[in-house]
Amino acid sequence: MSRLIFLGPPGAGKGTQAMRLANLYEIPHISTGDLLRTAVQEQTPLGKKAQEYMDQGDLVPDDLMLDLVLHRLEDDDVAKGWILDGFPRTVSQASFLDHLLAEIHQRCNCVLNLEVPDETLVSRMLGRGRKDDNEQTIRHRLEIYHHETAPVIDYYRERNQLVSVNGNLSMDEVTSELTKVIHP
């Protein structure tokens, strides 16, 4: 059974690789970015609140995110495993997730950290052309990543759960590196 967490800066390829591994291991891919974008598109109460943070490149506040993940992890399909992509992004989200998993008697097998230099990230995201992918917003998201999300890497390293993988390779090479370190 695979329960995997993907960490890495914006544009590192978390979404790309998480989708591939979800297909390979036949487990759900839970992307908080995708869940938020759907909520924005459908203009749900959460979507209305999240939109301005996302457009600015800011993190959506923890209370909204915790609720979203809590509900998704209650769905039936997660019993066979899951890949969390884009969550946790703050130490308080990581600590919440630990408590939640303990409560439902689950444990994540592996925290995967994709490492990619900032300049590669900027050019990848400019090429992707999503609504929040203009250069100013991208630079802001990278700053927030280094400030708020990088400590999450230390959090999992201290708990001996972290595996770092070079994300600065072709998509196929990254997938191949990931499958070598994951033992489902």
Distance, CA of 149 to CA of 47 (rounded, Å): 22
Whether the CB-CB separation of 81 and 27 falls below 8 Å is answered with yes
Nearer to ligand B4P, 25 or 87 (CB): 87
What's the min distance (Å) between Cβ of 150 and ligand B4P?
13
Closer of 45 and 105 to ligand B4P (Cβ): 45
Q: What is the DSSP letter of 145?
A: I
Q: Could you tell me the end-to-end alpha-carbon distance of the chain, in angstroms, rounded to an integer?
A: 5
Taking the complex as a whole, how short is the minimal distance between the CB of residue 42 and ligand B4P, in angstroms? Answer: 16
Task: State yes or no: 32 annotated in a binding site.
Answer: yes
Does 47 count as an annotated binding residue?
no
Cis peptide bond prior to 184, omega within 30° of 0:
no
The residue ranges that bind ligand B4P (CB under 6 A) are 8, 10-16, 31-33, 36, 53-54, 57, 59-60, 65, 86-87, 89, 93, 124-125, 127-128, 141, 169-171, 174
CB neighbours of residue 98 within 10 Å: 16
37 is in an annotated binding site: yes
Q: What secondary structure letter does DSSP report for 58?
A: P
In the bound state with ligand B4P, the residue whose beta carbon lies nearer, of 1 and 117, is 117
**107 carries a ligand binding annotation:** no
Asked if residue 66 belongs to a known ligand binding site, the reply is no
The tokens describing 111, both together, are: 């925290």
Name the residue whose CB lies closest to ligand B4P.
Answer: 33
Return the DSSP state at 148: I
User: Closer CB to ligand B4P, residue 27 or residue 36?
Assistant: 36
DSSP string covering 69-90: HHHHTTSGGGGGEEEEES---S
Binding residues for AMP: 32, 37, 58-60, 86-89, 93, 130, 141
> Which parts are annotated binding residues?
11-16, 32, 37, 58-60, 86-89, 93, 128, 130, 141, 169
